[in-house]
A and B are shown apart, each in its own frame.
Chain A
């Protein structure tokens, strides 16, 4: 089953009031926040972040090894993100076979990154983007509506504790692919938690980067990030 269908199935079993809330947030994000997301052609912001094992990971060291796939997820508490991470794990051998590296990051702190990596059995780097400092530079951060924080708290998810911050900021689910020159070849973010880049498409994109190396969509910095990926990118997916 592709990721989109898996996420749709997860969405359907949530209570209606909760999915309504998610839909309202997604609509607003896709009308406003999406414009600030870095687009293909931009230079990828470099980062230094702790991984699940408590070691520092440098983006420039990863880029020196090959193309870099950077995924943003909301946190280990989010079932849609967990399903996405598991789906990414399934294609990890194919990503590595393209000479690329995969990392995923969320603003979770206090050992939650480690717990997520262990519970999902992930073999790629999971990074703690403390205070969303990296996500802000990718333009994917949004302030969580108080109504949503309250809803999560009613499910036992205390964002204040997980993020280590009284102000609740989260990244939109997003995925970027940078070439070894540090330029983004692919950028996709969506406020809809069920709309993410298909893992199989990541492998296809890496293959195309490897074969012809010019940035997608071109050197003119024409943006790819949008609420709906352009038709060409969709075909590739």
Chain B
């Protein structure tokens, strides 16, 4: 396991920040405003915290009985006429999708947003085999035209400005680069994508929830493209992660109240569509995908991450994500949830991600299914340290600090020398960017002439003697 290169989110985030005075502040402001809407919507429901608790419990229950509910789902979906496929990993998922398309001689695919299909790198796989793959949702389409992965699981192109989109459409569709009116841009996209629905041989969606009791799956969107893609072409293929199972239809009364409020501060998504079996004359294929989920389920400290309903609230609230942009994480999943999911795919490649956090804890408090995200970030750091993935400078300085802090005598000697050393250290050394990153944007604090301990010995000598 492990790829050649570690992702360096700190360096990538720095590029996002220093790029200009537009992108990072806009990104931060938009997502902060989304959080404010979420807080307002959540507060309008007095039993909000109880709902989170119930949702968490349903997910915990389902995940600890996953085999049973998956088989129940398969049986009921099959009974309703759907074809259910099982994919162990990304490769199997892609092969299954390709073989369905191949069987029907399908050449063109219209799809709506699916993080799982991103995770499986499905689009490039199919394109290499001569299938034309078109994203139908605005944000995803923008990212596809730009050759970039989504930077946010709900707002895929949120790191881009209107001007960026106008320039992109000018380059790829041929519109006026100076017209960045959002209505115009949306219309351009609509006119560009709509004919593809009619031309497509098959439509693909993801699935937000799969209901074991009925064999139904739900797709929640705002643009409605998923519904057209699922209804116009003769074949509908849905990729669903095995953790998306819930036991009963009535559970949706919990999750639907949480999902859109958490995601975007809206009471509900515009479309909450139930798919139970194929429509008349159509064909429905459901691909249930593991791709590391069973392995994650067996990790005592990290299996709770499988409760995730992909609302993105942890990203919106994360002060680090808001300043970094999602592409800085170099992975399918970005933000706090990405930090705890990505290392389960490749520990070495994503070993720096758990350090791209201040451990402020906001993600755990906002999570609608109460995943202990912040604690898991902390625990992933321990895993990375144990595996020797900490940068050398950090390892050495902690070894020294660990020794000094464990030996009070040495600690007090070090203290004695620190002050004069800092006083006489040449300015260029202290404010050298690579030697002392603190000094790049911050003044150094001054060490005190007298430590608290020295003051105490001088001013509370009786107590010092009595107590020590």
Q: Say whether A and B bind each other.
A: no
Residues of B bordering A, CB below 8 Å: none
Residues of A bordering B, CB below 8 Å: none
